[in-house]
Structure 1
Amino acid sequence: MNQFQSNSTAVWALEVCANGYESALAAQEGGAIRVEFCDNLAEGGTTPSYGQLALAKRNLDIEIWPIIRPRGGDFLYSDIEFNLMKEDVKNCKALNCDGIVTGLLNADGSIDKVRTAELIELARPLPVAFHRAFDMTNNMEKALEDLIDLGIVRVLSSGGETTASKGAETLARLVAQANGRISIMPGAGINENNITELIQQTGATQFHASAKTFVASKMVFRNESAKMGTIDDEYQYELTSPEKVKALVNVIQSFSNS
């Protein structure tokens, strides 16, 4: 595992949002500590396939934390969707994943503590992290205390804004409120050009980025009239770049050694 620590007890690390096995491999090559493993980045990430997870756990050493999210959109789930989430948690345990990432809200924007607790119990002994559903809560300070009480180990957040840079002031307050009881991990729009400022502004030690690049299709024949989905250019796709991961890791590591 690629893990580096500062002179204090804080663990300094980069988590990569990997949209498949190949991106998880790139994250490992770049020196990330962990991947939030997902599919459908365009929808904010949904649960990856069993096959993707099985291949990653079989061949990679990096920590694999799948997202448990049955669809895009909001985080208010039906009974059918919640049952799907429970089955996906069972799959993650069977594959010996390192943890899971999820997020459930009530209609009023508060944390769904009942269902979250059920998933935590079902996942045991796997640790559970909470994704950016946190940014959609009606009171982030109250939500943070709820997650601490539930035993959530880490919260991914942009501070309630479109990017972590815009939410840096709120993230700094959350880090102070957490006071080591839970990890606040800034994410959304983080790259090698803004991470130094985010470290200085927020006081966080773990960060989340997709570090993605666009890969051009090798198709020679192209039907530009038909569309398979809602993406503008379907003759390219996204993959994590090991070079971008390494650039981020180098910045974080420089702070861990200072």
Structure 2
Amino acid sequence: MKLNSTDNILEVAVHSLESALAAKTGGADRIEVCTALQTGGLTPDLGLLECIRDAIDLPIHVLIRPRLGNFVYDQYEIKTMVRSIEVLIKSKVQGIVIGCLKHDGHLDQRNLQLFKEVAGTLDITFHRAIDVCQNMFDAVHIIMETGYNRILTSGAAPSAWEGRSRIRQMVEIATGSQLSIMPGAGVLPENAAALLKETGAREIHASAKKVYPLIDHDSIGLTTIHGKAVVSKWESDAEQIESIKKAISHS
């Protein structure tokens, strides 16, 4: 799909082949591939990535996040993230989604620069680590100067709608640069158009998830997250994606 420069862009986060196909059917412009979306997302395996790449022709951005928890990474994790970038370049994806902080909550500028250098011409999105960093508006300037293409953010709020005033400030900072500010978190068909209007953003990020029950056979806590049994799975819903796309196409 070729987009005009005036088109609003819908990115859908997917963690399975089923969800990727739903994103295509629903009219998404781009997908972010991860795994374990219920935990905030982790780096996906290559088998999933290749299945998706073979099945759809949308631009693919891939999350690089080596573990759960904070975004402060040690030397071994940084080495792993760099290798992931190198592998993804060979996989011919269009972009990566990445981020890292220091122990004091500020951006890890040295490693952000390293990621940029290794990624070369890949599109780079700084992920929602921005929402928990110190001095997020200063961080926008730094990410912009480092040459990243995009920031995914909820405006340091539980949902992008709640953080819309801060997102608008971020958009204003980035105006005239290569950096796009992309609202994400709690994006629904009923608020997507208003969110773009309120913030001035031109891209939006959603999982458009539908929850399906799972039968729980676990009596020993093997399949728990944070002590709670996982009794459902998430998949992106083509109808919801189509509704979001229609909403932002008329905004």
- Percent of aligned pairs with the same residue? 33
Give 1:134 deviation, angstroms. 0.9
Counterparts of 2:231 and 2:163 in 1: how far apart (Å)?
Answer: 33
Q: Deviations over 1:62-105 (max 9, x none)?
A: 11111011011111001111111111111111110111010011
- Does residue 230 in structure 1 map to residue 187 in structure 2? no
- Residue equivalent to 2:171: 175
Going from structure 1 to structure 2, the CA distance change for 1:107 and 1:233 (only over 3 Å counts) comes to closer
Counterparts of 1:101 and 1:234 in 2: how far apart (Å)?
Answer: 26
- Does residue 215 in structure 1 map to residue 212 in structure 2? yes
Aligned residue type for 1:118 = L
- Residue equivalent to 2:129: 133
- Does residue 35 in structure 1 map to residue 55 in structure 2? no
Query: Any idea what SS the aligned residue of 1:250 has?
Result: helix
Aligned residue type for 1:187 = G
Counterparts of 1:31 and 1:180 in 2: how far apart (Å)?
Answer: 28
Query: Any idea what SS the aligned residue of 1:36 has?
Result: strand
Aligned residues of 2:184 and 2:206 also touching (Cα < 8 A): yes
Counterparts of 1:42 and 1:22 in 2: how far apart (Å)?
Answer: 16
Aligned residue type for 1:66 = V
Counterparts of 1:82 and 1:125 in 2: how far apart (Å)?
Answer: 20
Equivalent residues, number? 248
- Does residue 52 in structure 1 map to residue 11 in structure 2? no
Aligned residues of 2:34 and 2:42 also touching (Cα < 8 A): yes
Q: Deviations over 1:137-173 (max 9, x none)?
A: 1111110010111100010001111110110111111
- Residue equivalent to 1:198: 195
Give 1:233 deviation, angstroms. 5.4
Give 1:122 deviation, angstroms. 1.0
Going from structure 1 to structure 2, the CA distance change for 1:112 and 1:60 (only over 3 Å counts) comes to same
Aligned residue type for 1:87 = R
Query: Any idea what SS the aligned residue of 2:32 has?
Result: strand
Alignment of 1:2-17 (within 5 A): 3-5=2-4, 9-17=5-13
Give 1:223 deviation, angstroms. 3.0
Going from structure 1 to structure 2, the CA distance change for 1:246 and 1:233 (only over 3 Å counts) comes to farther
Aligned residues of 2:7 and 2:249 also touching (Cα < 8 A): no
Give 5+ residue unaligned stretches, structure 1: none
- Residue equivalent to 2:14: 18
Q: Which 4+ runs in 1 deviate beyond 4 A?
A: none
Counterparts of 1:38 and 1:180 in 2: how far apart (Å)?
Answer: 30
Aligned-pair RMSD on alpha carbons?
Answer: 1.6
Give 1:199 deviation, angstroms. 1.9
- Of residues 50-59 and 137-146 in structure 1, the stretch that sits farther from structure 2 once superposed is 50-59
Give 1:226 deviation, angstroms. 4.0
Aligned residues of 2:38 and 2:234 also touching (Cα < 8 A): no
Query: Any idea what SS the aligned residue of 2:172 has?
Result: helix
Aligned residues of 1:171 and 1:202 also touching (Cα < 8 A): yes
Alignment of 1:26-175 (within 5 A): 26-175=22-171
Give 1:4 deviation, angstroms. 4.0
- Does residue 249 in structure 1 map to residue 245 in structure 2? yes
Counterparts of 2:84 and 2:250 in 1: how far apart (Å)?
Answer: 38
1:189 aligned residue (186, 190, 210): 186
Q: TM-score, normalised by structure 1?
A: 0.91
Query: Any idea what SS the aligned residue of 1:128 has?
Result: strand
Give 1:216 deviation, angstroms. 3.1
Give 1:234 deviation, angstroms. 3.3
Aligned residues of 1:43 and 1:73 also touching (Cα < 8 A): no
Q: TM-score, normalised by structure 2?
A: 0.93
